[in-house]
Amino acid sequence: MDNYKHIAFNIAHITGNENGYISDAVKNKKISGNGQFTKLCHKKFNTLLNNQKNLLTTSCTDALEMTAILADIQPGDEVIMPTYTFVSTANAFILRGAKIRFIDSRMNHPGMDEEKIEEVITAKTKAIVSVHYAGVACDMDKILALAKKYNLLVIEDAAQAIDSFYNNKPLGSIGDLGCFSFHETKNIQCGEGGLLAINDSKFIKRAEIIWEKGTNRAAFWRGEIDKYNWEDIGSSFLPSEINAAFLYAQLQELEHIQSSRKEIWNKYFKNLSELADLGVKLPYIPDYASNNAHMFYLVCRDGKERTQFISHLKDNNINAVFHYICLHDSPYYYEKHDGREMSNAKRYEECLVRLPLWMGLSETEINYICNSIHQFYNS
């Protein structure tokens, strides 16, 4: 078996058009936010998501923070979300004084177990945050039905879910609000970036104000008012035109990026599927969900095996990585948690491994990675 110098877990894809668009932004001398490239990105997202309005943000973290303000979260309000998620999902609501009610993962998928949501709903619950782990949809009909029954908001953390669908509806466009990430590790990226998708028109006016430091500057730029004012709380949530120009180049190549990523994902799945006979789990995609090839993961049989597995791959110059540490028993939250066990999420915390997946990962490299994996499990 040939040995590779190093196979990275992620290498950011560059389409080749980023520099040209950035220099257009520089030539225009309009480099701050909400300019030509921001508008081009918004237009493209309007088509992709077919929703009410979209606002670029500097990160998914920022988009989530905007949703917490829009949801009018007050100290003591409760927000429901999976424990197996990125810290920003929770932080956005903690910053407004919320209490988080964490939910375990499903047995067959790291995403939140929808069956465990209703038991934690109280009179103080304000919102359910559905995190589409690995770009694979939560069961949105179940979540929307609960939200309707208890009058709750649904916020989709679609950080990993660009170009992914629930029963053919784009993720991020289904709940009241959706949040995307364009961090360097995502399918399309601009280093750091995000999007707030607004799916209920009642949020549009306030969202634009929060986006622009609490002022109605966006309306001013459109010529709707003759001066802008401090109207509400807000922050500097909008990215510069440099980021928007970069992202626009990526958005134009979305189809090509997605078909290449799916090819890699399918090669992994085909080559590794027999590991299931040994009890190693491969990604599970429910019938209602699409696969956007954001991530290819394996779930080892126990934590010790995962440590040895990652180290075996490292010895073969392959960088495979684990993922989230559960939030319910994190140093920040464990004393605030209500004590419910989260055994499925703990299993993903201890046993899940993500394999390299990036544009340009060659067939030879994929075969080399798969052979190294088989070598581990056959020895």
Ligand X SMILES: Cc1ncc(COP(=O)(O)O)c(C=O)c1O
Question: Which DSSP state fits 299?
Answer: E
**Which among 345, 372, 378 is positioned nearest to 82, based on CA atoms?**
345
Asked if 216 interacts with ligand X (CB under 6 A), we say: no
CB of 157 to ligand X, least distance (A): 5
Asked if 65 interacts with ligand X (CB under 6 A), we say: no
Of 51 and 85, CB closest to ligand X? 85
Of 135 and 216, CB closest to ligand X? 135
Map residues 118-147 to x or -, x wherever contact with ligand X holds by CB under 6 A.
-------------x----------------
- For the chain, list the strands marked E by DSSP: 53-57, 78-82, 99-103, 125-131, 153-157, 165-166, 169-170, 177-181, 194-198, 297-299, 352-354
Size of site (CB under 6 A) for ligand X: 14
User: Which of 51, 67, 85, 105 touches ligand X by CB under 6 A?
Assistant: 85
Asked if 59 interacts with ligand X (CB under 6 A), we say: yes
CA distance 306 to 352: 7
Of 55 and 159, CB closest to ligand X? 159
Chain positions 26 to 45 lying near ligand X, rule: CB under 6 A, are none
User: Which of 89, 199, 240, 292 touches ligand X by CB under 6 A?
Assistant: 89
CA distance 92 to 89: 6
Q: Strands 53-57, 194-198: parallel, antiparallel or unpaired by DSSP? A: antiparallel
User: Which of 88, 105, 243, 258 touches ligand X by CB under 6 A?
Assistant: 88
Q: Strands 177-181, 194-198: parallel, antiparallel or unpaired by DSSP? A: antiparallel
CA distance 219 to 225: 6
CB atoms within 10 A of CB 16: 8
User: Which of 111, 194, 283, 356 touches ligand X by CB under 6 A?
Assistant: 194
CA distance 137 to 130: 9
**Residue span binding ligand X (CB under 6 A) among the ranges 16-24, 26-34, 84-92, 340-348:** 84-92
Give me the residues that bind ligand X (CB under 6 A), please.
59-61, 85-86, 88-89, 131, 157, 159-160, 181, 183, 194
